[in-house]
Amino acid sequence: MTSAGSPDLGVRSPIRAAVVTLSDKASAGLRADASGPALKGLLEGLGAVVTGPFVVPDEQSQIERTLIDLTDGGELDLILTTGGTGLAARDRTPEATGAVADRLAPGFAEAMRAASLSVTPHAMLSRATAGVRGKTLIINMPGSPKACREHFAVIAPALDHAVETLRGEAFECASPGGSA
């Protein structure tokens, strides 16, 4: 998506991202959403153009609807969700993500859990997943601002290449996950 005729110096249009916060309490106004703004700030720190955070209750059908509405416009490269990935009865973010994704991308969540395990055994409770819908990558992040910062540091170095691949800007890639 470099403008026509420009030399390819690795300059590409910024990542277009959205943040979705899943929280019954934040949605009902009973608690401020802290992790959504944290993720937005982290993405903007990478140069991304970010919409949201959109605050949605932990209701699977509403989460799915939000993800579908955001992706089907075709204007987003990346959605980060925060919240709803644990073992509590209302935690349904991974199920909603899996339901709307065309293809799963388990490596993002595996990498975040592995890194987090070196900090706390509670990391293994995370049921986070990731997947692609259309050309949008959806990644589930944890529910606290501190954990969001820690996990974002894990995925940040892979986001540019992920978006280039989804946009079709990285055809000749020979990365470990790339196709021949």
Pick one of 2, 28, 45, 122: the residue that binds a copy of itself (CB under 8 A). 122
**CB burial class (10 A; 0-12, 13-18, 19+) of residue 96?**
buried
- Pick out residues in 151-180 that bind a copy of itself (CB under 8 A): 151, 155, 157-158, 161-162, 165-166, 168, 170-171, 173-180
Q: Provide, rounded to whole angstroms, the least separation between the CB of residue 8 and a copy of itself.
A: 18
DSSP letter at 107? Answer: H
CA dihedral (4, 167, 140, 46) positive or negative:
negative
Phi/psi of residue 152, each to 5°? -65, -35
CB of 92 to a copy of itself, least distance (A): 8
Among 50, 63, 66, 91, binds a copy of itself (CB under 8 A): 91
Shortest separation between residue 16's beta carbon and a copy of itself, angstroms: 16
Q: Is position 86 an interface residue for a copy of itself (rule: CB under 8 A)?
A: yes
52 near a copy of itself, judged by CB under 8 A: no
C-alpha to C-alpha distance for 167 and 135, rounded to whole angstroms = 7
Task: Provide the 10 A C-beta neighbour count for residue 29.
Answer: 9
- We find the least distance from the C-beta atom of residue 6 to a copy of itself, in angstroms, to be 23
Contact (CB, 8 A) for 1 and 12: yes
42 vs 58, beta carbon nearer a copy of itself: 58
